[in-house]
A and B are shown apart, each in its own frame.
Chain A
Amino acid sequence: MSDGTAAPVPVGETGVVDAGIDLDQIPPEERAGLPKPPENRFGTALVRIRDGSALITVLAVLLALVVGAVLIAVTDAGTQTAAVYFFARPSDTLGAAWNAVAGAYAALFQGGVYDYTTPTFFQGLQSLGHAIGFATPLIAAGLGIAVGFRSGVFNIGGQGQVLMGAAFAGYVGFTWNGPPVITMLVAVLFGMLGGGLLAGLVGVLKARTGANEVIVTIMLNYIVFYLLDYALQTPFLRAPGSNNPISPSENASAVFFPILPPEYKVNVGFLLVIGATLFCSWLLSRSSIGFKMRAVGENPRAARVAGIEVNRVIIAAMVVSGVLVGLAGVYQVLGTTTTGFTSGIDAGIGFNAITVTLLGRSRPWGVFGAGILFGVFQAGGYTMQAAQSVDINAVQIVQSVIVLFIAAPPLVRAIFRLPQPGARRKPAKRAKAVAA
């Protein structure tokens, strides 16, 4: 607040507020050109990305696929051979490039969405089932990260929370062989508890001591990883008779049962994640705690003045975030790798979930859609690698490029010549705003 010497400086979107310009009066495209204030936080960028429009998201995906196509064409052996005599017969090069790209994307589609080479329709759909298998934990973790983002906390500790979820659920799953569904549910609850505990600890640290959650969560990733690695080398978690740091197999009563015929590889975990999405959707837009979370996320100062206990809301947001990320870990041990887990069980989900959340713009169903898309990429990527010998890293690059484009909406707008936001606002409304 005021310290007696400095004038109160309005904190606006740009530093030019200082020059006495009423920001209400300036449309966003003009604001973009104005100098930025020095106090721009790390979070502002993420907030901007999150608030981008849905159209931008779709176009970013399209653009990324184009970039991926170029990459595939350039790295393709046939194209490279033909390019040697490009000036003699350019059609050879272009033809080879086309074949490489079309083949790769066709394989991606076959592997990730629908395999049209199979004799029956339902067999073809197995591909989508595989994609859902990859997508399920990404969605769960993405929802957790999204709840954090919306509440103004940047939970970068997905890896640690996935590992906690996996370890807690996995421990219940291989030690206790109770009645079928009940064992599974208990394991799920324990796993979510594990994630929630870890993230809740971060919440408490942030609320009580003001610790930066980004740093704390990243460091906890290492701590949990090495602790788990250690525990897997002790009889506590290591499978009896094994020399490798791997846990025993999960009991059948704890494992997620399939909800479709087994070849589709879609299990009850997907239902849980659909439930989680519905829950998040209700939480963020229909519940009172979600209202407080969003208020704290958007403007913690105003929330505090309005009597909202910001620290408690932050802890609650971290716990919910960790519970959902923990669910991803549960899925990994009870749904994906049920034959015993290692410290690599998170399979990069903790970090990929951040990407999914950004692509889904932190909206629950947006995260759901983004998770499915990434599942398709992952499932299709393996097919692409096998069938067309396109390196699966190409898929990783496409995924990264998507996020890159989402992070740069002005670029996407420029490429597609979209109008700038705010340019279509009605004149009547402006006139009113001025008159008032």
Chain B
Amino acid sequence: MRLELHGITKRFGALTANDRIDLDLRPGEIHGLLGENGAGKSTLMNILYGLYQADEGRVLLDGEEQHFTGPGDAMRAGIGMVHQHFMLVPVFTVAENLMLGHEQARLGFLDLPAARARVREISARFGFDIDPDALVEDLPVGVQQRVEIIKALSRDAQVLVFDEPTAVLTPQETDELMAIMRQLKESGTAIVFITHKLREVREVADRITVIRLGKVVGEAEPTASNSELASLMVGRSVELTVDRTPSAGGDTGLVVEGLTVLDARGHTVVDDVGFSVRRGEILAIAGVQGNGQTELTEAILGLQEHVTGRIELDGRPLTGLPTRRVLHAGVGFVPEDRQEDALVAEFSIAENLMLDRSDGAPFVKGAGLQRRALATFASEKVREFDVRAQSIETAVGRLSGGNQQKVVLARELSRDLRLFVAAQPTRGLDVGSIEFVHERVVATRDAGVPVVVISTELDEVVALADRIAVMYRGRIVGIVPGDTSRDVLGLMMAGEVPEGTRMAA
């Protein structure tokens, strides 16, 4: 089935999210759609999927104009979508999820046997090993994604849209997904692969369309270099590697020993973890999401309840201290969930900048706020960190992700730090903002602060780390030098340590 988009335009109020976008897709082709966050990729795909109606332009399938009013229409026409965040019901089985939305009944009962058979049939065709009766919540993330793919295929999708599919996968799972995509392509499916990861799109796409600010800015061949693609995406040349000198390596700042964290149900989520970080050094903690990194950082910050072991900063114990006193001890913290844990969306930029300093100087005197001091401070920081906003009174919730993260960094880096912990500091940010954040992290290190960066992005880990600790199932698999190859890191993220790996602990 040949899919053509002609002159698609979509406006939200004054914002033009898609501006006369043309795209065509042939059967048996993987088309990479590359762009920064907010470039309009997802809007375009949501129009294709019937979630939005285009203001102008036409969607053609095999030359026939389509008018989708909802995902149901799109599915019937043969368009399937694999969302970044899976649209699965966790407490349902694979087969039940497959039926969801087009349940078939026999004599008034759900026809589960038919759904099971369908799962088995498609699994067999692509060599997936999926039990139709497994509960989705028990399946690993990579397998859940395959369930999504099966779901789309079971409705005879001939055009498959993958929306940022690799964000939640390990490098190995990513490779497997690429193989699946090639297999689908071979069987004649047309694939749109949305991503902002250059390496992946170059590896698997047949053609690449780059979108910036709602417009198609260029088409590229997979042979184009990373920097060519990046400059198309951002509209200027981009430094993809962080400019940094080797670590000077001072005295030991942070020491963690025998740290174990239990969750509310008593399960061990961090298991006997130990490492140390010197001043002026970046230790990156790599690993697939959900292997205990979040709990580890929260334990350091005093946000976890059941913590045993030893955490020492400059020889003083941090274990068991309330968060307020950990912050007072000079720990700067960038939480991984910016909107939930770092910012109060309804508060102004200025108010957010004093969020963790609501006791005492410089913003509080007696019981009252020092609003003037805060305003001066905020104006200064907004300038220094290049936060793009109308004023310091703008609510943080109205800023873009990059600007929100700049507010968090401005707040955390403007205290006298003895330790800086940044969890997923560039998640969901565009290339320009990533560059900025990385520069700041390295600058903090160069100022002689021990830095811990938690990241699930290998690119980020490799770009920043002096040493890399890889976590798997709550344990540290190994601590290796910053120049360790991606293949080795990938294997370690799956819990294996290849023989002959150099350790740097």
Binding site for B on A (CB under 8 A): 1-12, 16-22, 24-27, 29-30, 282, 286-289, 291-292, 294-295, 298-299, 301-309, 422-423, 425-427, 429-436
A66 to chain B, nearest CB (A): 32
Does B244 make an interface contact (CB < 8 A)? no
Contacts A19-B42, A433-B400 given; indicate if A27 touches B368 (C-beta within 8 A).
no
Contact among B194, B298, B303, B324 with A308 in the assembled complex (CB-CB below 8 Å): B324
Complexed CA–CA distance, A20 and B139 (Å): 22
Contacts A18-B84, A288-B359 given; indicate if A6 touches B15 (C-beta within 8 A).
no
Contacts A5-B138, A20-B83, A27-B13 given; indicate if A307 touches B343 (C-beta within 8 A).
no
Is the Cβ of B83 less than 8 Å from the Cβ of A19? Answer: yes
Complexed CA–CA distance, A359 and B144 (Å): 47
- Name the A residues within 8 Å of B388 (CB-CB): 432-433, 435-436
Is the Cβ of B303 less than 8 Å from the Cβ of A305? Answer: yes
Is the Cβ of A286 less than 8 Å from the Cβ of B403? Answer: no
- For this complex, 21 residue pairs linking A to B, each with C-beta atoms less than 8 Å apart, are A1-B298, A2-B289, A7-B141, A8-B337, A11-B339, A18-B85, A20-B84, A20-B163, A29-B13, A30-B12, A286-B371, A288-B359, A295-B358, A298-B346, A302-B340, A303-B355, A305-B333, A306-B355, A423-B13, A433-B388, A436-B399
Contacts A299-B344, A305-B335, A305-B342 given; indicate if A5 touches B137 (C-beta within 8 A).
yes
CB-based closest 10 A-B pairs: A307-B324, A427-B14, A306-B356, A2-B290, A4-B290, A20-B42, A18-B85, A27-B13, A288-B364, A436-B388
Contacts A25-B38, A303-B344 given; indicate if A295 touches B15 (C-beta within 8 A).
no
Is the Cβ of B87 less than 8 Å from the Cβ of A307? Answer: no
- Of the four ranges (under 10, 10 to 19, 20 to 34, 35 or more), the interface on chain B belongs to 35 or more
Does B402 make an interface contact (CB < 8 A)? yes
A423's nearest neighbour on chain B, judged by CB, is B13
Contact among A20, A29, A308, A436 with B402 in the assembled complex (CB-CB below 8 Å): A436
- Name the A residues within 8 Å of B433 (CB-CB): 436
Does B460 make an interface contact (CB < 8 A)? no
Complexed CA–CA distance, A429 and B140 (Å): 42
Does B301 make an interface contact (CB < 8 A)? yes
Does B198 make an interface contact (CB < 8 A)? no
- Name the A residues within 8 Å of B144 (CB-CB): 5, 7
Complexed CA–CA distance, A435 and B213 (Å): 8
Interface residues of B in 41-61 (CB under 8 A from A): 41-43, 45-46, 51
Does B232 make an interface contact (CB < 8 A)? no
Complexed CA–CA distance, A7 and B93 (Å): 17
Is the Cβ of B368 less than 8 Å from the Cβ of A286? Answer: yes
A18's nearest neighbour on chain B, judged by CB, is B85
- Name the B residues within 8 Å of A9 (CB-CB): 85
Complexed CA–CA distance, A11 and B85 (Å): 12
Query: Most chain-A Cβ atoms within 10 A of its Cβ — which of B85, B301, B367, B390?
Result: B85
Contacts A7-B168, A307-B322, A425-B14 given; indicate if A288 touches B337 (C-beta within 8 A).
no
B87 to chain A, nearest CB (A): 7
B233 to chain A, nearest CB (A): 13
Contacts A2-B289, A302-B355 given; indicate if A25 touches B12 (C-beta within 8 A).
yes
Query: Most chain-B Cβ atoms within 10 A of its Cβ — which of A20, A21, A287?
Result: A20
Is the Cβ of A304 less than 8 Å from the Cβ of B323? Answer: yes
Contact among A2, A18, A30, A430 with B294 in the assembled complex (CB-CB below 8 Å): A2
B163 to chain A, nearest CB (A): 5
A147 to chain B, nearest CB (A): 15
Complexed CA–CA distance, A19 and B327 (Å): 36
- Name the B residues within 8 Å of A3 (CB-CB): 290
A21's nearest neighbour on chain B, judged by CB, is B42
A306 to chain B, nearest CB (A): 4
- Name the B residues within 8 Å of A16 (CB-CB): 51
Contacts A20-B83, A287-B368, A309-B322 given; indicate if A302 touches B342 (C-beta within 8 A).
yes
Is the Cβ of B163 less than 8 Å from the Cβ of A19? Answer: yes
Is the Cβ of A21 less than 8 Å from the Cβ of B46? Answer: yes
Complexed CA–CA distance, A427 and B340 (Å): 28
- Name the B residues within 8 Å of A2 (CB-CB): 289-290, 294
- Name the A residues within 8 Å of B45 (CB-CB): 20
B304 to chain A, nearest CB (A): 10
Complexed CA–CA distance, A8 and B168 (Å): 9
Complexed CA–CA distance, A429 and B291 (Å): 40
Binding site for A on B (CB under 8 A): 12-15, 17, 37-38, 41-43, 45-46, 51, 83-87, 90, 137-141, 144, 163-164, 167-168, 194, 213, 289-291, 294-295, 298, 301, 303, 322-328, 333, 335, 337, 339-347, 351, 354-356, 358-359, 364, 367-369, 371, 388, 390, 398-403, 432-433, 473
B374 to chain A, nearest CB (A): 10
Is the Cβ of B38 less than 8 Å from the Cβ of A22? Answer: yes
Complexed CA–CA distance, A286 and B294 (Å): 35
B304's nearest neighbour on chain A, judged by CB, is A1
- Name the A residues within 8 Å of B301 (CB-CB): 305
B376 to chain A, nearest CB (A): 17
Contacts A19-B163, A286-B368, A422-B13 given; indicate if A5 touches B344 (C-beta within 8 A).
no
Contact among A1, A18, A22, A309 with B295 in the assembled complex (CB-CB below 8 Å): A1
- Name the A residues within 8 Å of B17 (CB-CB): 25
Complexed CA–CA distance, A308 and B347 (Å): 15
Complexed CA–CA distance, A384 and B430 (Å): 64
B354 to chain A, nearest CB (A): 8
B404 to chain A, nearest CB (A): 9
- Name the B residues within 8 Å of A6 (CB-CB): 90, 137, 141, 290
A296 to chain B, nearest CB (A): 9
- Name the A residues within 8 Å of B90 (CB-CB): 6
Contacts A6-B137, A305-B323 given; indicate if A25 touches B15 (C-beta within 8 A).
yes
Contact among A287, A305, A425, A433 with B13 in the assembled complex (CB-CB below 8 Å): A425
Complexed CA–CA distance, A5 and B85 (Å): 12
Is the Cβ of A434 less than 8 Å from the Cβ of B213? Answer: yes
B137's nearest neighbour on chain A, judged by CB, is A5
B3 to chain A, nearest CB (A): 19
Complexed CA–CA distance, A225 and B301 (Å): 45
Complexed CA–CA distance, A21 and B164 (Å): 12
Is the Cβ of A24 less than 8 Å from the Cβ of B401? Answer: yes
- Name the B residues within 8 Å of A294 (CB-CB): 344, 347
Contacts A436-B388, A436-B433 given; indicate if A298 touches B345 (C-beta within 8 A).
yes
- Name the B residues within 8 Å of A307 (CB-CB): 322-328, 356
Is the Cβ of B83 less than 8 Å from the Cβ of A18? Answer: yes
Complexed CA–CA distance, A62 and B15 (Å): 35
- Name the A residues within 8 Å of B86 (CB-CB): 7
Contact among B43, B339, B367, B369 with A21 in the assembled complex (CB-CB below 8 Å): B43
Is the Cβ of A25 less than 8 Å from the Cβ of B289? Answer: no
- Name the A residues within 8 Å of B356 (CB-CB): 305-308
Complexed CA–CA distance, A398 and B378 (Å): 46
Is the Cβ of B14 less than 8 Å from the Cβ of A430? Answer: yes
B173 to chain A, nearest CB (A): 12
Apart from A5-B138, A7-B84, A7-B86, list 6 A-B contacts with CB within 8 A: A4-B290, A8-B289, A24-B401, A286-B371, A305-B335, A427-B15
Query: Most chain-A Cβ atoms within 10 A of its Cβ — which of B15, B90, B163, B346?
Result: B15
Contact among A5, A19, A288, A308 with B369 in the assembled complex (CB-CB below 8 Å): A288
B289's nearest neighbour on chain A, judged by CB, is A2
- Name the A residues within 8 Å of B84 (CB-CB): 7, 18-20
B456 to chain A, nearest CB (A): 10
Complexed CA–CA distance, A435 and B323 (Å): 36
A420 to chain B, nearest CB (A): 9
Query: Most chain-B Cβ atoms within 10 A of its Cβ — which of A18, A30, A295, A303?
Result: A295
Complexed CA–CA distance, A1 and B423 (Å): 13
Is the Cβ of A429 less than 8 Å from the Cβ of B390? Answer: yes
A41 to chain B, nearest CB (A): 14
Query: Most chain-A Cβ atoms within 10 A of its Cβ — which of B141, B303, B344?
Result: B344
- Name the A residues within 8 Å of B140 (CB-CB): 5
Contact among B15, B87, B137 with A434 in the assembled complex (CB-CB below 8 Å): B15
- Name the A residues within 8 Å of B303 (CB-CB): 304-305
